[in-house]
A = this chain, B = another copy of it.
Amino acid sequence: MSYCFDDLRKACREDWDAYVQHAFVRELAAGTLESEAFRHYLKQDYLFLIHFGRAYALATYKSRNITELRHSLEGLKTIIDVELGLHVDYCREWGISEEDLARLPEARATMAYTRYVLDTGNRGDLLDMHVALAPCLVGYGEISNWLNAQPFTVRGDANPYEKWLAMYESEAFQGAMRAEIAWLDERLASVTPERFAELTTIFRDATRLEIAFWQMGLDRSL
């Protein structure tokens, strides 16, 4: 038996759908999400990105050879040198200054998912950590595609969240998603059923923590 990423998704179908089709992204796609909920999400996503960078730094440390090291370092640079800057710019458009970002309290949902990923990486190997990151890396791309197929989705100037929707359907992001799935497929092909069961638990827990991250946005909770 040979596994692939889609098997993880199937094994956690209910949680995965609850994540991909969460009210937060539905409302965002419909343009009806309250702007304060979106602002709350944007702020916490800034903190999320920093820990996401730490996760790629950990992956870089854990590399077994220079090829693996360069691969993780590319991800790390994209997050810190590119995405974080874009995120700060985007936050500014929503009235959130860099000083605001520097003083944020960290929401419990942010701590939960990010520290889960980091401990999973320290406890296990690179595959464990990538599986923990997959709901983020793969999920956002899939969410974008799912939303674009829904009748309630409003695109263009009529939707204040158009820019967010455009970002995750971009070829840059969709290509990164496909590359991540390919990376996972290659490694999952040779795992034992016992190992697949471990990875399924990680994937399910990470997906549940992503659901809580959307909910944190909706509830504006810390």
Contacts and interface: CB of A to CB of B under 8 A. Distances in A.
A112 B55 CA distance: 16
B124 A64 contact: yes
A18 interface: no
Interface in A58-86: 58, 60-64, 66, 69-70, 72-73, 76-77, 80-81, 84
A112 B108 CA distance: 7
B80 A54 contact: no
30 contacts: A50-B69, A54-B60, A54-B63, A57-B57, A57-B58, A57-B69, A57-B72, A60-B60, A60-B76, A61-B118, A62-B123, A62-B124, A63-B123, A73-B76, A77-B77, A108-B209, A108-B212, A109-B112, A111-B116, A111-B205, A111-B209, A112-B116, A114-B119, A115-B118, A115-B119, A118-B119, A119-B122, A122-B122, A125-B125, A208-B222
How many chain copies does the complex carry? Answer: 4
A64 B122 CA distance: 11
Interface string A156-187: 00000000000000000000000000000000
